[in-house]
Every structure is written in C-alpha cells, then in structure tokens.
Amino acid sequence: MNYLSEYNAGDAYISEYYDAVVDGLKVATSAKGLKQADIAEMTGFGAPKVNKVFKGNQTATADDCRHIARALGCVIRHDPKAKDPREGYKFAYQTESFTALLHRIPEAESFSEACIIAGYEMVVAILNHLGLDAKDYIIDAVNRPRGNKKLFGEGSHDDGLRIMFTHRHVFKDSDSFKFGVMISPKNKKIVFGLWCDSETEYYVGECREALNVPDSEIDEYLRFAKANERWIPRRYRDNIIDALVEQDDDFDNDRELELALETTFQEYCRLIKAEKNIDLADYSMQAIPSTLDLMFSISDPGSFPPEVRAELLNEHDRVCDVDSEHELFDGADDKPYVEVIPVIPLVPEAFSRYGEALKSKANSAVLCPMCAAKLRHGNADVKEEIIYSMYSKYKKHLKDAHMDVQLVELLSWHNTIMR
Ligand SMILES: [Zn+2]
C-alpha cells in the first residue's frame, strides 16, 4: 500500500470536513506565530481572501486549503482509520526532522499512527533533509505487521519499518540500486544501507568493490540481519551492498543518525557514478528550514519591509541615534540619508514573542550609514557598541510598547543573524 497517497487528504475529504480543516489551518497559523497578513503574503491570495476564508465568509477550494497548509510548512494529512472522521485530519509538518520523527514512532498511539509517521512524514523528512525531489524517486515505504495483529503491546511482533528510495531515471530493468533505512522502533535499531535489486551475486560483489566495502562490515551486517530476521526480510539480507547499523545508545545521538543518512546517500551517489557514470551530485545536504526561517531568510531581519521602512522614515528626525553629530549625505530624495533599523531584529524567536509590534515605530532606530554598516558588518565589539546605544536609548520605549527585551537577548539576536 502506498501511504503517500493514502494519507494525503483528497478534495472530497477536505470539502466534507471543510470547517474542521479551516479551523486546523487557523490553529496552525497562530501556533507558528503568524498573522493572516503573513498567510496572504506567502500564498499570494491577498489579505481580503484570507480574511474571508478564516472568518468563514468565503469557501476556499481544497487546493486553496492545501496551498495555505503548504505556506505553513505542512500538508493536510488524512487518517482513514480515525474513529471520528472529523478528527481524521491532521497537519503534518513537513519540516519536522527525520530524527524527531524517529523518536516519535515508539510513542505513537497506534500502529496506524506509526505507519503515517514512518510511511509518509518520515519519507518527506528524509527527502527534505537530503534536498531531494520526490518526483525523482520510486519510494517504497512499508510498514506491515507480519502475523500477529497485536501491536506495540506485550507479546507483539517487532514490526520493522522500511523506507527505500530508488532513483527513477537512472535504472532500467532489474539492475537497480536502492538506499534507505530499516527501523525497529521497539528495539531501537536502525540500519542505513544500499541494496541491489539484481539477483546476481557477482554484481553485488562488483558493487561492494566499487565502494571498497570491507568484508568484515558485510559480515557484521549479515549477522545482525540474521539475528533480526523477524523484521529484516530475506531480500534485504542477500543483496546488501553497504550497511551501517546503529542501535541502542547510538539512537540518542541525532547528529550521528543524520550523518549516517547523509553518508548513505553520498555512497548511493558514488555507486551510481561508478556503475552508471551518472552524476547525482547536484543535491544539497541542507536541511529545509522552517517556514518562518524561510520567510526571514528572504527578507533581511536587520531591516524593515520596504513599506514599513518608508512609513517609519517619515516619523523620525533624520539624525543618527548613536550621535546626532554623525555626518549624513543627501539621498536620492535630496534629504539626508539615514537607515531605519529594527532595534529588536525581525528573527523568528523575537517574532514569536512580540509579533507585529516588531514592525512598529517603538522598535525602530535611526542610524547614519556608518553606524548601520557597523551593525551589519562590524566585529563583535563594533556591533555591541551600536546595539548598546540603541538599547539604552530605546529600552524604555520598547518596554512601554510591551517589548521588554533583555540586552543579552538583543546581542544574541543581532549577532546570530548579522554575520
Ligand atoms: Zn551614526
């Protein structure tokens, strides 16, 4: 069964449970510290439409709903096994990390929940983590209880989960390689590996040779697979090219698990290069940032959005806040050129605490070009001098506007973003 399609809420489902879905979108919006205006901007729907949809004065299409969910960094997921169909939708955050999901599987309330996490969300998380396009891969996410139906309880089977990726455009016939993970959540065991679909033993050997995989590693995996044959099927024993087994303590080191995943994919690329002379190297290892991070990476957190900046500029005297004697040149509008800078930078942490207030006059300072450049490009000491002078001047203003910020937070937010 393909969980990718099964759990992606279709048009019929969304229109039948439309109200519940829109409520969910509203909750997800505020949970992310976003406003309707942000949704309008990210979706391109325009503020009136988003407002009407959220107020229930306009019915969005199923596609619109998915579009809004996408802007929130999630997909609308449908669990057909839910007892109450109204409760049968959830918002799956695509940005949840591979390792976060891994830790969630053993805590899943039901096997069906575990299937959704492993068979759908984790697939997306892995693709995101490796920067891959789902369209390029045949994805085989299997999580079936074998035999015993009793799950996760006493005496239950050790249900292994398996997520395999085969590049769609590289192979023909049966000579394909796949990379993927096999997980036994119950026993905290995970295998990262490359497998060959070819039945020829010779070919498997050739592949191992191409990657210089030591025999000892293969032997170790084969012993492991034999001991775990309840959840590692035979075809993933015989055709192993390279494998990395992590268990118990290793399971607690997230970075190590991520590295193992990245290494596995790099080996996959190396193998394809060696055997097919095809370069899959135009992939990125960048984890997908959250929607808010994306939003802030597009806009410079050290400046206001242009329309806000223009408005604030009109309200300020054109002198540098650090020292009114600082020299200014005439700008394109023939007025003295100054920069209007957010005292508290528009970073996600600050945004989630203070919201839209960050874009108000209370959070703005005026700097001469030199001081603005010092704040952006100076070393720690140079930056601190500017931040400290803005802080002492505006501390009270900020507090009165319910933005009670600590100097140490200000320093850290400015330093982390303005490298
Ligand atoms: Zn200045």
Domains held by the chain: number: 3
Percent of the chain with pLDDT over 90: 22
Predicted confidence band of residue 135 (pLDDT cuts 50, 70, 90): low
CA of 368 to the centre of ligand 1 (A): 4
Band of the pLDDT at 155, cuts 50, 70, 90? very low
48 and 137 belong to one structural domain: no
Instruction: Tell me, in angstroms, the distance from the centre of ligand 1 to residue 320's CA.
Output: 5
Which pLDDT does position 65 carry in this prediction? 87
| 127 and 239 belong to one structural domain | yes
Is the domain of 32 the same as that of 180? no
What spacing in Å lies between the alpha carbon of 297 and ligand 1's midpoint? Answer: 26
C-alpha 380 – ligand 1 centre gap (Å): 17
Q: If pLDDT is split at 50, 70 and 90, which confidence band does 154 have?
A: very low
CA of 378 to the centre of ligand 1 (A): 13
Domain match, 275 and 192 both: yes
Q: How far is the CA of 349 from the centre of ligand 1 (A)?
A: 27
Question: Could you tell me the distance, in angstroms and rounded to a whole number, from the CA of residue 52 to the centre of ligand 1?
Answer: 45
Q: Is the pLDDT of residue 53 over 90?
A: yes
d(CA 151, ligand 1 centre) in Å: 66
Give tens-digit pLDDT for 292-303.
444 554 556 677
What is the domain range of residue 86? 1-93
Region 156-164 average pLDDT: 69
Among residues of the chain, what percentage have pLDDT more than 70? 75
The yes-or-no verdict on residue 97 having pLDDT over 60 is: yes
Cα-to-centroid distance, 379 and ligand 1 (Å): 16
pLDDT in tens, 361-413: 899 999 999 999 999 888 888 888 999 999 999 999 899 988 888 888 888 88
For residue 354, the CA-to-ligand 1 centroid distance in Å is: 27
Q: Separation of 326 CA from ligand 1 center, angstroms? A: 5
Distance 396 CA to ligand 1 centre (A): 21
Per-residue pLDDT tens digits for 216-256: 999 999 999 998 887 787 888 888 999 988 876 656 788 88
Q: Say yes or no: 380 and 406 in one domain.
A: yes
**Domain CATH number, residue 29:** 1.10.260
Q: What is the mean pLDDT of residues 64-71?
A: 80
| H, E, C per residue of the chain | CCHHHHCECCHHHHHHCHHHHHHHHHHHHHHCCCCHHHHHHHHCCCHHHHHHHHHCCCCCCHHHHHHHHHHCCEEEEECCCCCCHHHCEEEEECCCCHHHHHHHHHHCCCHHHHHHHHHHHHHHHHHHHHCCCHHHEEEEEECCCCCCCCCCCCCCCCCCEEEEEEECCCCCCCCCEEEEEEEEHHHCEEEEEEEECCCCHHHHHHHHHHCCCCHHHHHHHHHHHHHCCCCCCCHHHHCEEEEEEEEHHHHHCHHHHHHHHHHHHHHHHHHHHHHHCCCCCCCCCCCCCCHHHHHHHHCCCCCCCHHHHHHHHHHCCCCCCCCCCCCCCECCCCCECCEEEECCCCCHHHHHHHHHHHHCHHHEEEECHHHHHHHHHCCHHHHHHHHHHHHHHHHHHHHHCCCCCCHHHHHHHHHHHCC
Which of these three, 239, 266, 281, is where a domain ends?
281
CA–centroid distance, 376 to ligand 1, in Å, is 13
Question: Are residues 250 and 117 located together in one domain of the fold?
Answer: yes
Q: Which of 281, 313, 335 is the last residue of a domain?
A: 281
Task: Identify the weakest region by mean pLDDT among 71-85, 96-110, 393-407.
Answer: 71-85
User: Residue range 277-298: average pLDDT?
Assistant: 52
Lowest-pLDDT choice from 25-34, 55-64, 77-86, 329-338: 77-86
Mean pLDDT of 173-200: 82
> Do 44 and 143 lie in a common domain?
no
pLDDT at 249: 64
**Is 83 found in the same domain as 147?**
no
Q: What is the mean pLDDT of residues 263-283?
A: 82
pLDDT given for residue 39 in this prediction: 84
Kindly tell me if the per-residue pLDDT of 15 is higher than 60.
Answer: yes
Give the Å distance between the CA of 387 and the centre of ligand 1. Answer: 12
CA 332 to centroid of ligand 1, rounded, Å: 19
- Do 131 and 273 lie in a common domain? yes
Report how far ligand 1's centroid is from the alpha carbon of 300 (Å).
20
Do 239 and 198 have their domain in common? yes
Domain boundary among 74, 93, 112: 93
Q: Are residues 107 and 233 in the same domain?
A: yes
Q: How far is the centre of ligand 1, averaged over its atoms, from the C-alpha of 308 (Å)? A: 21
Residues 246 and 373 in one domain: no
Q: Residue 418's pLDDT is what?
A: 41
Q: From the CA of 362, how far away is ligand 1's center (Å)?
A: 19
